[in-house]
Structure 1
């Protein structure tokens, strides 16, 4: 989620993967994939940079997780019964 600002000054978080287009006309308008629109205070370039930073942080976290050994769950062995018993 990225944090942007409504025209009234209140901040809110929005999923950048649901943004289809960003217009600057003159207010920055986020066109969402569901057809709705959100007008924000941040300039178009800033919104793009915020999204870029968000995506870079997601990739960084994934990279860090790949470098960290994950605990392996130990499975209990099921004892085998001798054949015929």
Structure 2
């Protein structure tokens, strides 16, 4: 999520994974993949910088995860509880 400011001055946060495009017309307009549009006080370059910073923080934090801190992956069962079913053969008369 990135912090932005509506053109009227109210702060809000936006899921930057939903951004389709950012236009400068001269106001900065953020278009989301669902068609919603937000006019923000930040410049186009500021929005791009905020998205880059957010994504770099995600990558940096993921490097701090230790393998032992992750949940264990369950081993597959030796014997599956599934059985093969014979195909249905239709008899034409």
Unmatched segments (≥5 aa) in structure 2: 73-93
> Structure 1 pair 27/71, CA: closer, same or farther in 2 (3 Å)?
closer
> Structure 1 pair 60/9, CA: closer, same or farther in 2 (3 Å)?
same
Q: Which has the larger radius of gyration?
A: 2
Give 1:17's aligned residue.
Answer: 17
Give 2:69's aligned residue.
Answer: 70
Unmatched segments (≥5 aa) in structure 1: 74-85
Q: CA RMSD in A?
A: 1.7
TM-score (norm 2): 0.71
Cα-to-partner distance string for 1:13-60 (whole Å, 9 max, x where unaligned): 000000000000000000000011100000000100000000000001
Q: How many residues align?
A: 72
Q: What pairs up with 1:40-55 in 2 under 5 angstroms?
A: 40-55=40-55
Q: Partners of 1:37 and 1:71 in 2: how far apart? A: 38
> Structure 1 pair 71/45, CA: closer, same or farther in 2 (3 Å)?
closer
Bigger share in helix: 1
TM-score (norm 1): 0.78
| SS of corresponding position for 1:39 | strand
